[in-house]
Amino acid sequence: MATACPCNPSATYASCCKPLHEGAPAASAEALMRSRYSAYVLGLRDYLVDTWHPATRPDPFELDDTPGLRWLGLDVKRHVDIGDGTAVVEFVARYKAGGARAVRLHEVSRFERVDGRWLYVDGDFPR
């Protein structure tokens, strides 16, 4: 049985995010953002660090590793390729930590294409 992809339950992991996790370049900033969400779900810290822009990349030990954190779903609101090697992706990801209520993480993320590869730069959290 094929495993569903964390970023899109109607796609298989093997045909969606796995190739990116194994080194294939993302075709778009949205594809990179989806693969990063899946990396959070799957605990692929090295992938998260490798796909973070060097100018804003945190120390790998600073990445949140909350015990009992469970990702519940992803909803991409919009993807805008600016056309100058940058893009914006707005999404809502839901997660739950321990016995707490589910939390909505709403972010407008910025991406930049560096040496032919999309990288996550940073994001804002709209109200």
How confident is the model over 18-60, as pLDDT tens digits?
999 999 999 999 999 999 999 999 999 999 999 999 999 987 7
Handedness of CA 54, 56, 62, 63 (dihedral sign): negative
- pLDDT at position 100: 81
Which percentage of the chain shows pLDDT scores above 70? Answer: 95
Cβ(120)–Cβ(111) below 8 Å: yes
Q: Containing H/E element for 119?
A: strand 117-124
Please state the domain extents for the chain. Answer: 4-124
Domain 4-124 falls in which CATH fold? Nuclear Transport Factor 2; Chain: A, (3.10.450)
Cβ(40)–Cβ(71) below 8 Å: yes
**Residue 31: CA atoms inside 13 Å, Cβ hemisphere, count?**
17
3-state class (DSSP) for residue 15? coil
